[in-house]
Amino acid sequence: MPYENLLVEASESIALVTINRPKVLNALSAKTLEELEACFREFQHDPNVRVVILTGAGDRAFVAGADINEFADYSPLQAREFSLRGQAFFHKVENLGKPTIAAIHGFALGGGCELALSCSIRIATQSARLGLPEVKLGIIPGYGGTQRLPRLIGKGMALQMILSGEPISAEEALRWGLVNQVVPPEQLLPAAKDLAKKIIANAPLAVQYCLEAIHQGLNVSLEQGLLLESALFGMAFATEDMREGIKSFLGKRSPQFTGR
Ligand code: COA
């Protein structure tokens, strides 16, 4: 399906989504968000998509935030709706049941940083600048930044980033665990694809259960999280892939997983 603001390519079970509004540093307009929602709806039910990589067009930005032109005149109620809608989509990204990788070059600010935060893994180039600059506009992060950032990097550094509004470099982001890897620009997509292929070689349901255990588990007590882990561990034993995984290991051959 052709999109106005997205480029979508799929090969080798990897969907590559490029947010394509380079003139405005790939700012997330309502239309772009709508297209992302449609695209992720398709991915969720497409067994041929095992990993989604998100990136931005051009060489200046991943995404420089929500489109400021669109929300400048919002009433408080419209602003709340805007926030709820973005949050709902980012929740879907996080709970897609398939890993998502943000491939970040240049600016990942505001909604762009929040989009990256909702992905499973973040890979950046040295040029990346990540930040939540909303306070500079007199507003606050509204797409999950105040919640996901402290959960990922801890309260202290999250407070520093959110209260100062100052972006941090790729190296700082790596030190704080905001990004997983920093690579040269020409390695950005190859590194994301290499990682995607390693994930794809594993049993799809096991990968899905790991995502679920981590995402759901982080939001409940340790006891509840451990119970969830045991339940999902048990579920893995109901899969054909579990039998194939064990059999292939014992038979000293590569597993042929089917996702069942
Ligand atoms: N929404 C709408 N348009 C945006 C945008 C956003 N979030 N971010 C950048 N743009 C547009 C600029 O308005 C400019 O458009 P123009 O050429 O029609 O004037 C174009 O993208 C290029 O940006 P520009 O500001 O000229 O580039 P720069 O190198 O001087 O600065 C940034 C880059 C990222 C520092 C700056 O664009 C910026 O601060 N953007 C807003 C970031 C932000 O606050 N995001 C959170 C929003 S809630």
DSSP conformation class of 166? -
CA of 53 to the centre of ligand 1 (A): 23
Q: Whose CA is nearest to atom 34 of ligand 1?
A: 64
With a pLDDT cut of 90, the percent of the chain lying above it is 98
* Mutation test residue for ligand 1: of 5, 25, 67, the one with most atoms within 8 Å of CB: 25
Q: Which atom of ligand 1 is nearest to the CA of 24?
A: 21
Check pLDDT > 90 for residue 1. Answer: no
CATH number of the domain residue 212 falls in = 1.10.12.10
pLDDT for position 2? 83
Residue 35 sits in the same domain as residue 106: yes
Cα separation, 160 vs 138, whole angstroms? 17
CATH number of the domain residue 186 falls in = 3.90.226.10
Cβ contact 41:88 at 8 Å? no
Residue 10 sits in the same domain as residue 135: yes
Per the structure, the count of domains in the chain is: 2
Catalytic status, residue 114: yes
Residue 191 sits in the same domain as residue 209: no
Compare 93 and 1 and report the one with higher pLDDT: 93
Residue 71 sits in the same domain as residue 146: yes
Q: Which atom of ligand 1 is nearest to the CA of 110?
A: 46
Cα separation, 64 vs 86, whole angstroms? 15
- Give residues with Cβ within 8 angstroms of 220, minimum separation 6: 228
Q: pLDDT tens digits for 155-172? A: 999 999 999 999 999 999
Q: pLDDT tens digits for 217-253? A: 999 999 999 999 999 999 999 999 999 999 999 999 9
Residue 172 sits in the same domain as residue 156: yes
Residue 183 sits in the same domain as residue 230: no
Domain limits at 235? 204-250
CA of 25 to the centre of ligand 1 (A): 6
Residue 109 sits in the same domain as residue 152: yes
Mean predicted confidence (pLDDT) in 140-145:
98
Residue 13 sits in the same domain as residue 114: yes
Cα separation, 109 vs 165, whole angstroms? 10
Q: Which atom of ligand 1 is nearest to the CA of 141?
A: 48
User: Residue 93 falls within a domain, yes or no?
Assistant: yes
Cα separation, 9 vs 45, whole angstroms? 16
Q: Which of 162, 179, 200 is the last residue of a domain?
A: 200
Give 118-134 as a 3 state SS string. Answer: HCCEEEEECCCEEECCH
User: Residue 255 falls within a domain, yes or no?
Assistant: no
CA of 71 to the centre of ligand 1 (A): 14
CA of 23 to the centre of ligand 1 (A): 9
Residue 121 sits in the same domain as residue 208: no
Residue 136 sits in the same domain as residue 233: no
User: Residue 259 falls within a domain, yes or no?
Assistant: no
User: Residue 257 falls within a domain, yes or no?
Assistant: no
Residue 27 sits in the same domain as residue 152: yes
With a pLDDT cut of 70, the percent of the chain lying above it is 100
Mean predicted confidence (pLDDT) in 184-209:
98
User: Residue 102 falls within a domain, yes or no?
Assistant: yes
User: Residue 243 falls within a domain, yes or no?
Assistant: yes
User: Residue 256 falls within a domain, yes or no?
Assistant: no
Identified catalytic residue from 12, 37, 134, 172:
134
- Report the pocket of ligand 1 as residue ranges, CB < 6 Å: 24-25, 27, 64-69, 107, 109-111, 133-134, 137
Residue 230 sits in the same domain as residue 160: no
